[in-house]
């Protein structure tokens, strides 16, 4: 029987209730201050090398009816979270929205409202959603490699799962909660983590046994990676001291996938240091690869071009590598896909492209 100690979480959310209570006692209008969550209040933290919120704050107070409702909802939500912790349950954000049907005047009027309040609570307390037992709708990113995970299952038993020997070819499914109370990394006999954008490419590398031949832990990130996937990669990298290499399509949206893994995303800037892996490197497909490997391409759309231009002024892409590559792509007017490497056959990516690029990056020896 393993159980996380939630007393710290409970203390922190109780402090919110105490603040409101004290305001009432002092006959002041109840209020809560929290950092402003807008693009203007996002700063690149040079020390942590991730995005964080700046010093602007917003006040939620009961001066208006809407504000009073918001504080009332906060109290109900604090109560709901404490109840879940007590009975060892968790809830999706969507379930919480419906649960509020029973909260009388505090009922949420839209799911957006309940999602925002969950983020507010994270920002105020410095806890993570997982600490509140709130979980997302979906996940199911997959892992294959010489890695043993110990998962504490719903029956509170520890289960060791080797991500090659104990799983089918579809791999180990990353659960929605990857915090230490749920999973821990045991042996990881590998040289690096390879995060892969598309399922088709993940399955290609699995079929070609790239995890074995190149001592890689393969993680399918399923497009824009979910929070639990980013946290999984972050923990794996820092606890097992493994370099993280990101392999995506060659277009501006894929570069943002890389940036969210490496530097964090604006929506989750308050917990960037938990989710981002600043040491991760981008392997490709790069615009240079389009030229060097003579890859099949599509023409950049207007949206692609605008996204690339906006990346040129994004501090996450300010180093010379990205500046050069983005400028080259704008000049070429082309984009490409991971699977375009199949032009040279199904084994080209594992026999030629990846080994060459990994050696270039210094991750493996050629």
Q: How far apart are CA 23 and CA 40, in angstroms?
A: 30
Please confirm, yes or no, whether 53 is among the known catalytic residues: no
Nearer to a copy of itself, 126 or 200 (CB): 200
Residue whose C-alpha is closest to residue 248's, from 261, 231, 235: 261
Q: How far is the CB of 156 from a copy of itself (least distance, A)?
A: 11
Nearer to a copy of itself, 146 or 272 (CB): 146
Nearer to a copy of itself, 33 or 137 (CB): 137
Q: How far is the CB of 157 from a copy of itself (least distance, A)?
A: 10
Q: How far apart are CA 56 and CA 75, in angstroms?
A: 24
Q: How far is the CB of 229 from a copy of itself (least distance, A)?
A: 12
Contact positions vs a copy of itself (CB under 8 A): 84, 89-92, 94-96, 98-99, 101-102, 135, 137-140, 142, 149, 151, 153-154, 159, 161, 166-176, 183, 198-200, 203-204, 206-207, 209, 222, 296, 337, 339-346
Nearer to a copy of itself, 28 or 207 (CB): 207
Q: Which of 6, 53, 69, 98 is catalytic?
A: 98
Nearer to a copy of itself, 139 or 304 (CB): 139
- Estimate to the nearest angstrom the gap between the alpha carbon of 269 and the chain centroid: 11
CB neighbour burial string for 177-211, b if at least 16 within 10 angstroms, e if fewer: bbeeebbbbeebebbbbbbbbbeebbbbbbebebb
Q: How far is the CB of 27 from a copy of itself (least distance, A)?
A: 36
Q: How far is the CB of 191 from a copy of itself (least distance, A)?
A: 20
Distances in Å between the Cα of 248 and the Cα atoms of 131, 200, 305 are: 31, 12, 18
Nearer to a copy of itself, 74 or 336 (CB): 336
Q: How far is the CB of 7 from a copy of itself (least distance, A)?
A: 22
Stretch (H or E) spanning 196: strand 192-196
First to last CA, the chain: 47
Contact between 105 and 72 (Cβ < 8 Å)? yes
Return left, alpha or beta for 317; rule: phi > 0 is left, psi -120 to 50 is alpha, else beta. Answer: alpha
Cis bond leading into 285, ω under 30°? Answer: yes
Return left, alpha or beta for 140; rule: phi > 0 is left, psi -120 to 50 is alpha, else beta. Answer: left
Q: Which residues are catalytic?
A: 98
């Amino acid at each position: 029987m393993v159980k996380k100690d939630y007393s710290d979480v409970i203390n922190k959310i109780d402090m919110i209730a105490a603040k409101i209570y004290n305001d009432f006692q002092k006959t002041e209008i109840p209020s809560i201050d929290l950092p402003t969550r807008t693009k203007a209040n996002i700063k690149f933290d040079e020390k942590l090398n991730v995005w964080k919120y700046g010093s602007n704050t917003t006040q939620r107070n009961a001066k208006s009816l809407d504000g009073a409702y918001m504080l009332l909802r906060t109290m109900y939500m604090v109560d709901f979270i404490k109840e879940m912790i007590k009975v060892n349950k968790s809830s999706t954000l969507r379930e919480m929205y419906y649960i509020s049907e029973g909260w009388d005047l505090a009922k949420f009027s839209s799911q957006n409202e309940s999602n925002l309040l969950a983020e507010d609570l994270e920002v105020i307390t410095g806890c993570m959603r997982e600490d509140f037992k709130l979980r997302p709708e979906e996940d199911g990113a997959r892992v294959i490699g010489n890695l043993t995970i110990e998962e504490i299952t719903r029956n509170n038993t520890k289960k060791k799962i080797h991500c090659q020997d104990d799983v089918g070819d579809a791999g180990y499914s990353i659960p929605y909660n990857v915090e230490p109370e749920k999973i821990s990394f045991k042996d990881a006999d590998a040289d690096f983590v390879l995060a892969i954008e598309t399922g088709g490419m993940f399955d290609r590398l699995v079929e070609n046994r790239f995890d074995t031949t190149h001592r890689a832990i393969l993680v399918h990130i399923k497009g824009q990676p979910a929070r639990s996937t980013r946290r999984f990669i972050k923990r794996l990298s820092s606890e097992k001291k493994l370099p993280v290499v990101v392999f995506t399509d060659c277009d501006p949206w894929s570069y943002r996938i890389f940036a969210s893994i490496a530097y964090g995303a604006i929506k989750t800037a308050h917990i960037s240091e938990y989710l981002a892996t600043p040491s991760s490197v981008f392997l490709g497909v790069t615009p240079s690869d389009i030229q060097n490997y003579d890859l099949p391409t599509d023409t950049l759309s207007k949206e692609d071009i605008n996204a690339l231009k906006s990346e040129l002024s994004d501090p996450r892409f300010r180093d010379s590598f990205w500046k050069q590559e983005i400028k080259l792509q704008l000049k070429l007017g082309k984009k490409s896909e991971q699977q375009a490497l199949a032009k040279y056959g199904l084994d080209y990516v594992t026999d030629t492209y990846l080994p060459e690029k990994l050696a270039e990056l210094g991750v493996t020896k050629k």
